[in-house]
Structure 1
Amino acid sequence: MADVDVTRDGAVLTITLNRPEVLNALNRSVHLGIRDALEQARDPQVRAVVITGAGRGFCVGQDLQEFSSGAGNVADNLRRNYHRNVTAIRALQKPVIAAVNGPAAGAGMSLALACDIRIVADTASFVPAFINIGLVPDSGGTWLVRRLLGTARAFEWLTTGRKLGAEEARSWGLANEVVAADELAHRAQEVAELYAAMPTRAVWETKRLLDAAENSTFSDQLELEAVTQAEMTQTHDFGEGVAAFLEKREAGFTGAEVERTHPITVRNVDDLERWRLTTALRLPLALPHLYLVEYWGLVAVVVAIVNWFIALVRGRTPDAVHAWFERYVRYSTHVGAYVLLLADPYPKFRGWEGTYPVDVRIDPPARQSRWTIGFRLVLALPALVFAYVLGVVAVVVGALSWFVALAVARVPDGFQNLGAYCLRYQAQTYGYLLLLTDRYPSLSSGSGFQFEKGDR
């Protein structure tokens, strides 16, 4: 029996933690199961996700039996397992509903709070159990609890480890709704189906905007809303919503994405503002990232060779390899944007989607022609030459932007857009070469480009 059970009912995917004998405590197998399930949830046909637990518990956090022979490198375990899954939930472009059927303790509490909505059984409870064994909250617990409760109440609760019942959790704002235990599964499915019938892209963008608001100024948030709204007017669901309103009927939303002419796109929401100090020191600050890109690239060459043989036989890149290459291309783009002054925040080292102003989105793996796989390197040569030329252009633009940013603390819109265009073409080229897609890189500025910025 799998430690994580995944089922699909229409557009709703349900992920069930399935270790009821230990109240669904987390071990390596459960982490991998959640990771695979969240990859399945990226399917465009899935429009809402439910996470719940089997038996009488939701999840009581780390299985301490794994630590019986020593804790090992706890930080690496958190980064490799916990961080990856809670980040994937926040980055998932559809609503995630936690159906909390019993105790949610420790990292299990963080898992529930990482979800967008929490439907809670009247027998459920939330316990920040870390303090009880001399630890601090992890898996995003401090960030998530503070966001929901505010600093004062978050500190009190996390440092006392007090158990909160379902009704108290609802009154505090940790739970959206409390239902009888025997009605939880039905109610969670009902809420999930409600969201599955909504305009999925609009739901995701609202989720993304709220997350961005945690670190945005008011003016930055206004700009991000303007850019996002411009994109939303291009969706099928916007047209359907307006037509339904005018015709006085129920809208039939499909959740279809903005029509894109290439599977690899660049989303550019940079605000053009630059801090003079980090501009002056940009190259020294970027050195750790540049070393990592170089190292990751060397490993990627080896993986690409092995993947070429696999894809030649299977007709597609395996999901795990596709996800790894996807992060490499995205991370390289984030670093390139930082070095070339196309964005100002310091990049994260992970290459997760939605974490940088100049970001890359790559479609899930799909079948490709074995003929084009076999001759991929030869076919990619012209694109690689042009990508090199654009790289030189981007360096020149970056150098000019450096002088301008030092003088006026911002970069010209035209420079930033041209640099982003160069990075977009390079991302499409590397994606084509690494078998992320069989679509050839496009020179069209409208192909795979989303950077409407409005009046900046």
Structure 2
Amino acid sequence: MASSAQDLGPVLDKDGVRLTVDDAIATVTLTSPAKRNAQSPALWRALTEAGRLLPGSVRVVVLRGEGKSFSAGLDRQMFTPEGIEGEPSFIDLARRDDAALDATIAAYQEAFTWWRRNDIVSIAAVQGHAIGAGFQLALACDLRVVADDVQFAMRETSLGLVPDLTGTHPLVALVGYARALEICATGRFVTAEESVATGLANVAVPASDLDAATQDLAAALLSAPRDAVIETKALLRSATTHPYDTQRAAERAAQSRRLRALSHLDD
């Protein structure tokens, strides 16, 4: 890239989240390294806002965390009776009726949802700890580049909870049901080597090379025409749920659109 996104003026910079844009590449950075980028409802709202603020020129979004850890999960203050000032505690949430509780969790999930949009490709650059909500945030992205010191873990079950920030679907899709269940039920760490071997990560690199490897991947993703990437991403995402003949039809329809666009027949 011609310049570093981290050197540009931020489009958004609040509540532990910074969004910068460098032409077709946006970078979302978690900016609380002293807290190992622990997550809170305020951070989730900022992540949701970052997705809404993406300019139409953006094709690739890089997600990274400052410091030694990508994200060590939920802010531990959320587990205390008083919770985080200005936010509902877990006890407060438990006292809400079913509809209100469902709506609250759905709002939290929005921070983890927009990374899957077909008009962008998202890359998580993950180093150190990616635990619980941190693991699920990495799973929200399309691709994962990991440092050789990465340690993924899904600790929700160990705390009497479940992974509820959209992480179960991609985890099972990537590693299969049996391994996903074992990872979640035991809460154990998943290393860089296992991450690559099981398809959880695309590539593992030395920690010192993480940013460069992520930038190289982002640049490679920009080499193909944007509309072809969008159509291909949509096809690949639907392939996991469509019956075979339905997927064949979707391929034909997508290719017809591409052929007509390349031949300028829609002008």
TM-score range, shorter chain: 0.7 to 0.9
Q: What's the TM-score once normalised by structure 1's chain length? A: 0.50
Distance in 2, matches of 1:137 and 1:32, equals 18
1:97 equivalent in structure 2: 123
1:449 equivalent in structure 2: none
1:9 equivalent in structure 2: 22
Q: Counterpart amino acid of 1:184?
A: L
Distance in 1, matches of 2:162 and 2:46, equals 25
Relative to structure 1, the CA distance from residue 259 to residue 166 in structure 2 (aligned partners, 3 Å threshold; closer, same or farther) is: farther
Q: How far does the alpha carbon of each residue in 1:167-206 deviate from its partner, in whole angstroms, 9 at most, with x for none?
A: 1211111111111111111111121122123222222222
Q: Counterpart amino acid of 2:202?
A: N
1:37 has 2:50 as partner: yes
Q: 1:103–1:125: 8 Å Cα contact kept in structure 2?
A: yes
For 1:145, which of 171, 184, 188 is the aligned residue?
171
1:278 equivalent in structure 2: none
1:128 has 2:145 as partner: no
Q: 1:89–1:96: 8 Å Cα contact kept in structure 2?
A: yes
Relative to structure 1, the CA distance from residue 39 to residue 234 in structure 2 (aligned partners, 3 Å threshold; closer, same or farther) is: farther
Gaps of 5+ in 1: 241-257, 261-456
Q: 1:58–1:102: 8 Å Cα contact kept in structure 2?
A: yes
For 1:181, which of 207, 212, 216 is the aligned residue?
207
Q: How far does the alpha carbon of each residue in 1:312-332 deviate from its partner, in whole angstroms, 9 at most, with x for none?
A: xxxxxxxxxxxxxxxxxxxxx
Q: 1:110–1:139: 8 Å Cα contact kept in structure 2?
A: yes
2:78 equivalent in structure 1: 66
Within-5 A mapping of 1:70-89: 70-71=89-90, 72-73=92-93, 75-82=102-109, 84-89=110-115
Q: How far does the alpha carbon of each residue in 1:128-170 deviate from its partner, in whole angstroms, 9 at most, with x for none?
A: 1112211122212221111111112111221111101111211
Distance in 2, matches of 1:128 and 1:101, equals 16
Q: 1:11–1:193: 8 Å Cα contact kept in structure 2?
A: no
1:112 equivalent in structure 2: 138
For 2:67, which of 37, 40, 55 is the aligned residue?
55
Distance in 2, matches of 1:201 and 1:21, equals 40
Q: Counterpart amino acid of 1:120?
A: V
Number of residues of Structure 1 aligned to a counterpart in Structure 2: 239
1:157 equivalent in structure 2: 183
For 1:19, which of 24, 28, 32 is the aligned residue?
32
Q: How far does the alpha carbon of each residue in 1:353-378 deviate from its partner, in whole angstroms, 9 at most, with x for none?
A: xxxxxxxxxxxxxxxxxxxxxxxxxx
Within-5 A mapping of 1:359-374: none
Distance in 1, matches of 2:59 and 2:71, equals 24
Distance in 2, matches of 1:226 and 1:191, equals 29
Q: 2:118–2:234: 8 Å Cα contact kept in structure 1?
A: no
Distance in 2, matches of 1:97 and 1:173, equals 14
Following TM superposition, the consecutive aligned residue runs of length 4 or more in structure 1 with deviations greater than 6 angstroms are: none
Q: How far does the alpha carbon of each residue in 1:207-240 deviate from its partner, in whole angstroms, 9 at most, with x for none?
A: 22222122211111111111122122233xx469
Task: Return the offset for 1:259.
Answer: 7.3
Q: 1:98–1:112: 8 Å Cα contact kept in structure 2?
A: yes
SS in 2 for 1:81: helix
Relative to structure 1, the CA distance from residue 177 to residue 128 in structure 2 (aligned partners, 3 Å threshold; closer, same or farther) is: same
Distance in 2, matches of 1:173 and 1:20, equals 28
Relative to structure 1, the CA distance from residue 167 to residue 259 in structure 2 (aligned partners, 3 Å threshold; closer, same or farther) is: farther
SS in 2 for 1:8: strand
For 2:258, which of 227, 232, 239 is the aligned residue?
232
Relative to structure 1, the CA distance from residue 47 to residue 27 in structure 2 (aligned partners, 3 Å threshold; closer, same or farther) is: same
Please identify which structure carries the higher strand content.
2
Distance in 2, matches of 1:22 and 1:215, equals 39
Q: Counterpart amino acid of 1:213?
A: A
- Kindly report the root-mean-square deviation, in angstroms, between the aligned alpha carbons of the 2 structures: 2.1
Task: Return the offset for 1:67.
Answer: 4.1
Q: Counterpart amino acid of 1:225?
A: E
Q: 1:4–1:15: 8 Å Cα contact kept in structure 2?
A: yes
* Overall identity of the aligned pairs, in %: 35
Distance in 2, matches of 1:259 and 1:162, equals 53
Q: What's the TM-score once normalised by structure 2's chain length? A: 0.82
Q: How far does the alpha carbon of each residue in 1:375-433 deviate from its partner, in whole angstroms, 9 at most, with x for none?
A: xxxxxxxxxxxxxxxxxxxxxxxxxxxxxxxxxxxxxxxxxxxxxxxxxxxxxxxxxxx
Gaps of 5+ in 2: 1-12, 83-88, 94-100
